Structure 1
C-alpha cells in the first residue's frame, strides 16, 4: 500500500468539484455531492478455498486502519459508522441519499471524519460478493450520513 499516494488522492478529492451527474471519474465514481476513489483492488477469489479471501480481507482492513491513522492526525479519531441500517432501510424501499445508499450494498462500515472544508471523508473496504475482489475506497461527500 502506498499511503502517500492514497493521501494525495484523498486531498485531490477534497479539493475538487463534484460531478454534475452520476458516472465514472478519473479516480473511480462520482455524482452530485460525492466522489468515490478506488484506492486499491485485490484479485478475485474464484479459485480460492476461503483462505486467501480471509487473508486479503484482513490485509485490506489493516490497510484501511493504517491510512486512517494518518487521517486521524489531521482530523482526530474516526467515527466508525455501520452501514447495516442504511442497507436495511434501502431494502425496505426507503430512498437513501448517495453515496450512502450504494455504499451500504457492498461496504459494511466506514471510518468517518469531517474535514476542515466541511466535507465528510470516509474509508471503507468493499466486496460485492464472496468471489469478487476487495477494494479500499475513499469517499468524499457533502451529504451527511443518514
Structure 2
C-alpha cells in the first residue's frame, strides 16, 4: 500500500467506515469504539535473521514517518508518544483502556493525533516488540482518548 492508500484507509476509519478490503488481518481486535488495521507488514522476519529484521523495522519506521508527516500537516505536529510509561502503569495494576493497552504491548512509540471534527483519535505505530511475529505498521482509530 502506498502513502496515499494508507491515508485513504485512515480517513475511512475516521469517518466511521470500513476501510477498503485488501485481505489484511486486524492484528489488534476491534472493540467498542476502536479499530486497528495493518497498513504494511514485513515478510519472513519472524524468528529470522536479526540483521534482516532490523532493516525491515527501519524501513517500516521510515514509512511510518512519511505517513506521519502528512498527518502532521492535517492535524498539527505532535511529539511521538512513548509506550513504556503505559506498560509500567498497567504493570502496577492501573486499568488502561483499549486500544491503548494492546498497542502498548505491540509498539514502543506511537504518533497520536486528535482528528479534527471527528471526535476520534488516530494512532500510528510499528509493532516490532515480538521477535516471533512479523513487523507491522499499524493505524488505530478510536473514540477513547489516550490515557
TM range (shorter): 0.7 to 0.9
Count of matched residue pairs: 139
Question: Which residue of the partner structure matches residue 126 of structure 1?
Answer: 127
Superposed CA offset, 1:18-68 (max 9, x none):
9xxxxxxx8624111211111111123356331101101100100000001
| 2:112 counterpart SS class | strand
Is 1:83 the counterpart of 2:83? The answer is: yes
Quote the offset at 1:101 in angstroms: 0.6
The 5 A counterparts of 1:33-112 are 33-46=33-46, 48-112=48-112
| 1:108 counterpart SS class | strand
| 2:123 counterpart SS class | strand
CA distance in 1 between counterparts of 2:107 and 2:11 reads: 22
Question: Which residue of the partner structure matches residue 145 of structure 2?
Answer: 144
Equivalent pair of 2:127/2:138 in contact (CA under 8 Å): yes
Equivalent pair of 1:44/1:131 in contact (CA under 8 Å): no
Superposed CA offset, 1:114-138 (max 9, x none):
1111211110000241232110001
Give the alignment's TM-score, normalised by structure 2. Answer: 0.86
Change in 2 beyond 3 A, CA 1:77/1:59? same
CA distance in 1 between counterparts of 2:17 and 2:96 reads: 22
RMSD: 1.9
Give the ranges of 4+ consecutive aligned residues of structure 1 lying more than 6 Å apart after TM superposition: none
Change in 2 beyond 3 A, CA 1:9/1:87? same
CA distance in 1 between counterparts of 2:46 and 2:16 reads: 37
Change in 2 beyond 3 A, CA 1:33/1:69? same
Structure 1's unaligned 5+ residue stretches are 19-25
Give the alignment's TM-score, normalised by structure 1. Answer: 0.86
Question: Which residue of the partner structure matches residue 21 of structure 2?
Answer: none
Equivalent pair of 1:44/1:132 in contact (CA under 8 Å): no
| 1:144 counterpart SS class | coil
